[in-house]
Structure formats: structure tokens, C-alpha cells
Amino acid sequence: LIVQSAWTGATLDTRKAVRSRSHRCARGVMKIGMYNFQWAGGEFEVEFREKNIFWCKRFANEASWTEVQPGVVGVNWGKYGNYQLTAQPDGSFAGGVLTTDASGAPVVNTNDWRKATFVRAFTPAEELLSGSAWMLHYENGVPFRVEFHADGHFHSPAYPGHHLWKLNGNQVAIEWGKYGSYDLTLEVAADRRQSTASGSLRGHPASWRRLTYEEALPAYVFKENSCGHSH
């Protein structure tokens, strides 16, 4: 995909940009993980994920982050705006809304400031499960696809509806409405394709369920009839 950079105005091949920038920045000043994001109106949690994915459950939108240059990170947050943040001596990133001057050159408006402070790294279970698709196996049945969306929704194309999931350590709780509630233990493999989760219908261990990993999903999944809740 060829796009125009929101920070330089230059065109770039995002397939190359993601490969060349994401891991370099992850090993440098920009740590992959959860951040406290502050502005004049308050603060909330955001995530800088691998593969240049920027995610905020509270303000869900397709978004990305890019290392503009060493120690400088750009965030393209779609309808929520573009930002440029610079590494600070205390380890945080501070900057503001990215706009343009009279000549059309990009400029950071530090009066409309933003600050991102690292909180913690993701656990292996969080990195694996949040935004992923699996095959669900059960007794006397044909396996089918289920999805753990990053916004906390649990989705199955075969059994649609408004359903939720939560992760506590390696324990996965699925609230599947009329289809029941399930508790599973996640086993994260070094090769994520070999990862599994096993458990059962809550309170009924004989009614077993098993998940086998299929693929990663985008953090932002558009929902035409979204409930609008930040679960």
C-alpha cells in the first residue's frame, strides 16, 4: 500500500516501512506496551503494539504509530488526529497535535499537548489473545472459528451476537449469552501457531472446549452495529 506520510508529506511503501521501522523502534526508546496518555482534558490508556499498531479501547479507531526519526514518534489516529511525540529524559514521550503552518509544512502544536508515559509491557497472553482468531473444538461437533477482538468483544461468525471476553493472567472467561459462559486456560507456545486454550462450560467440566490458534487480527475491527461500549 502506497500512502502519503502525515508527518513529512512524502509517499512511502507501508509494507517496507512497517518491516524496517517497527522492530527498530521497539528495541529502542519506544517500548511496546501500555501507556498512560495525557492531555489537557484528562488521561486514558493507549497501547503501542508490534507491527506499528496504535490502539486505544476508549477511542477505538484504525490507527498506527511510526518512528519518524530516532526518539521521535508519529501517531496517525484517524478521526482523532495526528500527533508527534519526542522522547523525554524521564522516558516519557511528549509533543502535540501535528498540523501545518502557512506554507503547508508540518508543525507540532505544543499548545495542544499530549504526553505518553510507559506503564508496563504486555504479558505473553495479552499479546497473543487480544486481536486473534481461533478454531473452537467441542465434544461431538465440527470445529468453527471464534475471534477475540481487542475491544473486548467475543465474536463467532457462526453464532453472532453481543458477547464479551476477559483475560486474567492466563485464564480466559467468555460470556457467550444464550450459548453459555466458559472458562479456559491459555497455553502460550513459543511458536504462537501452536498455542492452545482448554476448559469447559462454567461449572460443567465434562462439557469441554478447546481452542487452537488461527491468526492475528487487526486491533480495530469495524462493527456496523457497534454497541459503542468500551468493555
Alpha helices in the chain (DSSP H): 14-27, 124-129
Asked whether the predicted pLDDT for residue 212 surpasses 60, the reply is yes
At 21-71, the pLDDT tens digits run 333 443 347 899 999 999 999 999 999 999 999 999 999 999 999 999 999
% of residues, the chain, pLDDT over 70 = 84
pLDDT in the model for residue 222:
80
At 113-138, the pLDDT tens digits run 999 999 999 999 999 999 999 999 99
| Bridging pattern class, strands 132-138 and 106-120 | unpaired
Gap between the Cα atoms of 34 and 126, Å rounded: 11
End-to-end CA distance of the chain: 32
Asked whether the predicted pLDDT for residue 5 surpasses 70, the reply is no
At 173-205, the pLDDT tens digits run 999 999 999 999 999 999 999 999 999 999 999
Angle at CA 127, nearest 5°, toward 195 and 69? Answer: 135
| Mean pLDDT, rounded, of the chain | 87
| Residue 5 grid coordinates | 506520510
Asked whether the predicted pLDDT for residue 230 surpasses 90, the reply is no
Band (pLDDT 50/70/90 cuts) for residue 99 is: very high
Give the residues across from 168 on adjacent strands. Answer: 171
Amino acid identity of residue 148, one-letter, is F
Distances (CA, A) of 227 to 12, 91, 153, 214, 231: 36, 36, 10, 26, 10
160 versus 119: the higher-pLDDT residue is 119
Asked whether the predicted pLDDT for residue 100 surpasses 80, the reply is yes
